């Protein structure tokens, strides 16, 4: 009997950061061209989703970020000729902190932008993730959950 591969979604984290009606967006060089996304990335071993979100935001924007609320947990599937991937995204709202002006951005990040929700809607063809707009719309609708909704067992840190 052949062993079946165990399905494992890719866990990602994303920051939805709004100031004065504009959202902090990264423009990144992806395999299919320049794409737009909220600061986001994969969860690393030993970190909580909130910690991963703070780290990814710093790496991609040079801004410190403190998650204060979970906006939601989202799933999306991307199928290509060579891949069939499912992503589970934890999206957070929070407080934007200090900017490290001399910090280099992650490889592939071209620049950061501040865009309105309408500008994001008009640029859907350039979104890296199909979840970008859903996360922003849920943020705008006031969807917020306590960080404690995600329980982190001590074994994660050991």
Domains and CATH numbers, the chain: 10-147 (3.90.79.10)
Q: Is 154 a residue whose pLDDT tops 60?
A: yes
Q: Is 5 a residue whose pLDDT tops 80?
A: no
Q: For residue 97, how many other CB atoms are within 10 A of its CB? A: 13
Q: For residue 12, how many other CB atoms are within 10 A of its CB? A: 22
3-state secondary structure of 120: helix
Site of tokens 């998650």? 67
The structure's pTM equals 0.92
Give the residue with greater pLDDT, 85 vs 65.
65
CA distance 1 to 135: 42
109: alpha, beta or left, given left = phi > 0 and alpha = psi -120 to 50? beta
Q: Alpha-carbon torsion 83, 12, 76, 15, what sign? A: negative
User: What is the pLDDT, as a whole number, of residue 3?
Assistant: 56
Interval 76-99: pLDDT, tens? 998 877 878 899 999 999 999 999
For the segment 13-18, the average pLDDT, to the nearest whole number, is 98
């Amino acid at each position: 009997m052949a062993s079946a591969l165990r399905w494992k979604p890719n866990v990602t984290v994303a920051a939805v950061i709004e100031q004065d009606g504009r959202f902090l967006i990264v423009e990144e060089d992806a395999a299919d061209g320049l794409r737009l996304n909220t600061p986001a990335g994969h969860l690393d071993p030993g970190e909580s989703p909130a910690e991963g979100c703070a780290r990814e935001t710093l790496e991609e924007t040079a801004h410190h970020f403190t998650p204060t609320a979970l906006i939601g947990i989202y799933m999306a599937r991307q199928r290509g000729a060579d891949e069939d991937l499912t992503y589970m995204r934890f999206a957070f709202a929070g407080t934007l902190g200090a900017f490290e002006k001399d910090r280099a951005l992650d490889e592939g990040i071209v620049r950061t932008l501040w865009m309105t929700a309408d500008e994001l809607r008009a640029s859907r063809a350039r979104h890296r993730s199909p979840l970008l707009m859903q996360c922003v719309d849920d943020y705008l609708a006031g969807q917020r959950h306590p960080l404690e909704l995600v329980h982190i067992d001590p074994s994660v840190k050991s």
